[in-house]
Structure 1
């Protein structure tokens, strides 16, 4: 059976997409020092190149253009800054639509015999194998994603509550910042100790590394969120700036983790934002209550 009209044009798009992925994974493999990670990346590169070879049969040779080469460099930069797992999974987020298009071609009867059987194998690769291979790559950030989330999210929630509480208790942004810093330093040590003890009960966890990551992320978040207060901004502006920074950090991390863990970004992010707003309101009301009960304001 002859391929349907327009298949050559579609095949060229698919071939270029598969070739781009293959080139990217091979470039990552060339820079990878860990033998296990390199082997996984090379396997992914070979798999994508086989897909490219399949589509090339229907459109002839396809080469990446200068725009694709620039995009390749950007993804390589992403892999160095954000990690290989994030970069691969971000690139593969469009796989559902690709699988749907491949399935449509398969079901249309445009291909037959060995070509049809090979396309079925490619669809299975796109559905399962690539994501499973990406999950085999070992990276520090991915391995300690839970500790990073714990340190950062707990610091955001706790500091937001402290700062909002002082909004109803004092007009001094510097005092508020100092209070947040004191609470944050103490809490970072407490969280690190708790993470250490908890990870000792879990197989495969490195207690020291988990504790260090939790404590450091907590402390970095504390420094970031207290900075607007310590700079001497009016307290309401400082609180607003601190919350904006918290939402930006939270948005970045929520998106990062949603890509790595294959979760929905919007739901997780909005849920976290809702928790922060609730903590801010409760913290402010508690500060007002303390001021009324004690009759003391700073």
Structure 2
């Protein structure tokens, strides 16, 4: 059984959280141009405001602190850079814990029957935020997340293999970089064509846009990963730097997609890193084998 004093403390914490979310969603809606997205964000803001009013019955009125307003500005900036869907899903990753606490209070017997009915509705709203409402928001990056992932991840894996292969075949970093560019340009066109044909079989997708996004992400990744070689760094140093850049890009994208898709970041990232190391090892030993068989060293 939760005491009255404990309920006041928890209610104040919940009220601040709900008030913060309500203001954030309202500010997002003001900056949203799509009518459908604006309506959804306003609905979420109104729901969170109603939740705040409920907890205010126990805690009294609360106000955001200077630190809260600074955090609010940070999340608004985040929504402009990484999108509203990512920001909302990142913000509400703790909602599972919050909902569990709400249910704990619900089952504690500390609330009257009328308040229990309201809290049950609040719990339903919080679950709805995590699923249907947030998933209805339309954003370019989220809609084409698959194409972005395909172009970037395929480029990282393929270029890592090519660069490692040349490490065992040549001593020239520039030659390795040029080889990577040649492979990358050809592969980007191939991936764009494949993405175009595949998206034609899927409803709701624009084949042309999907192809462009896939090819563009592929080429941008190729340019990034070949830059250390074309800069003339020693071959081994260039390979290490290229792999570090690949790991950084992969970490950023893996975290982004993990939040959007509600998956575990670390598991996905470690799996992707393992694949890259496997491809690098195969590429290197294949290059050594070709050098031994042909006896040629460019």
Q: Same fold (TM over 0.5)?
A: yes
Give, in angstroms, the shift of residue 12 of structure 1: 0.7
Q: 1:9: how far off?
A: 1.3
The Cα shift of 1:130 comes to 4.1
Whether the 8 Å contact between 2:2 and 2:108 is mirrored in structure 1 is: no
Matching residue of 2:165: 165
1:5-84 to structure 2, matched below 5 A, reads 5-84=5-84
Q: 5+ residue gaps in structure 1?
A: none
Per the alignment, in what secondary structure is the counterpart of residue 233 of structure 1?
coil
**TM-score, normalised relative to structure 1:** 0.98
Give the Cα–Cα distance (whole angstroms) in 1 for the partners of residues 200 and 130 of structure 2.
33
Once the two structures are TM-superposed, the CA of residue 118 in structure 1 deviates from its matched residue by 0.9
Q: What is the rounded CA distance, in whole Å, between the counterparts of 1:126 and 1:36 in structure 2?
A: 20
CA RMSD, Structure 1 to Structure 2 (Å) = 1.2
Shift of residue 104, structure 1, vs aligned partner: 1.2
Shift of 1:6: 1.7
SS at match of 1:6: helix
1:204-283 paired onto structure 2 within 5 Å: 204-283=204-283
Matches within 5 A, 1:185-204: 185-204=185-204
The residue number in structure 1 matching 2:181 is 181
Tell me the distance in 2 between the aligned counterparts of 1:271 and 1:232: 31
Contact 1:86-1:259 within 8 A present in 2 as well: yes
Deviations 1:121-177 (A, max 9, x none): 111222234432010000000000000000000000000000000000011111100
Q: Unaligned stretches of 5+ in structure 2?
A: none
The more displaced of 71-80 and 197-206 is 197-206
Q: Is the 8 A contact 1:174 1:229 kept in 2?
A: yes
TM-score normalised by the chain length of structure 2: 0.98
Tell me if the contact between 1:2 and 1:111 (Cα under 8 Å) persists in the aligned partners.
no
